[in-house]
Structure 1
């Protein structure tokens, strides 16, 4: 009943980004996907969420084959996703950005009291309710990261994929993000996180998968990954 891939492959010209990636993430847990730059992590996320189509292999979620499906269909299956570079609507307010995640009709059709209250509750949960009427382009990078996550959560996904949530974020905001992930996980959401900040990864993850050259080379809890010689060699360079 988890997010999994079997022999996933993707090449760009002569460069192999994914080379038979078989992974099974743990449902109900905080999973991390780590590895050196160029190891295929973001390509993996893009294949899983329908942003690009894999050359071969399968993507399954809760025993349903999602391979090559359109992003909106994958989202409706219960998978939400953020990006390395925030994808917000810069000239829309924070509240409008979150409302845009409601998967029915055009923006005007969302503006029911219940939708607005739910959107405001997510902005409040993430600590940016005071920016509800501010345009996204006027927000800091860290605030836009929180806004993008609020939009993802507005769609009520069961599994959330976060692509470098700590990138460019100040330490205080990073602590908030880490705490929020653990709280949302305790409430029943599964997380898969691509991240380079090892302090964050080791502090919040239950299960870690390590990529190198487009395929997993190790997996396990933080205590195991810290001392795995393959990880030390491929990722930590020792």
Structure 2
């Protein structure tokens, strides 16, 4: 299902973070959202996923208005996301982190009562697919930053979202793990999942994206395939300050 916003606006005091952002991210594609620091990318993700409330404008997913829905309702509708700073439970094992991500009642619900074998097997499956099954009984605080990013993503995927928003998946990740993330995104997209990726690593963006939207000062200034974006004068001007 497509994710779209119309005239989305958000200000923090006198600072305008989103200034009439009208965007449609294409279903079934690997979309990227790029732009210089302070261009509104993470604020956009936060408004779309209900983490903060936009001042005005609309957010739709699959044609349904989700503008005022709570984060958990948006997640249940099929939109999952990661964060710039990993959101994992540091004193919980990898397995418990993944289980807690989808159990009703959050952490307490995730750890209460007998575990269902099918659910545990599915959690193990995601840990294996992301290449961190060897960390299954390791607490998150004892993992590297890149491993924590993979763990967070495993928790998101445990919810089986149709659309996944990744906020700077390459940040602080070593090249080997970055290659693993890129391959995983391509494979999951081939299986039918839509992606929207906020990222500053242009090598990653240009290599995996089908469609790129460029933000500057809280609004889109260009969009299209990588071949057009890399030579667009408006994009070069936004990044280079010309």
TM-score by length of 2: 0.96
Distance 1:17 1:84 in 2: 17
Aligned twin of 1:157: 161
- Unaligned regions of 5+ residues in structure 2, if any? none
Looking at structure 2, the residues matched to 114 and 198 of structure 1 have their Cα atoms a distance apart, in angstroms, of: 39
Size of the aligned set, in residue pairs, is 238
- Tell me if the contact between 1:102 and 1:110 (Cα under 8 Å) persists in the aligned partners: no
Q: Give the direction of change, closer, same or farther, for the CA distance of 1:102–1:185 in structure 2 (3 Å limit).
A: same
Contact in 2 for aligned 1:42/1:163 (Cα 8 Å) = yes
What does residue 142 of structure 1 align with? 146
- Aligned match of 1:14: 14
Residue 31 (structure 1) aligned with residue 35 (structure 2): no
Counterpart in the other structure of 1:92:
92
Deviations 1:170-215 (A, max 9, x none): 0111111000000000000000000000000000000000000000
Cα distance in 1 for residues equivalent to 2:95 and 2:13: 41
Match of 1:213 among 205, 212, 217: 217
Pair 1:128-2:139 in alignment: no
In structure 1, stretches of 5+ residues that fail to align are none
Deviations 1:89-134 (A, max 9, x none): 0110000000012243512257110010000000000000000000
Deviation of 1:69 after TM superposition, in Å, equals 1.2
Q: What TM-score, normalized to structure 1?
A: 0.98
Name the Cα RMSD after superposition.
1.0
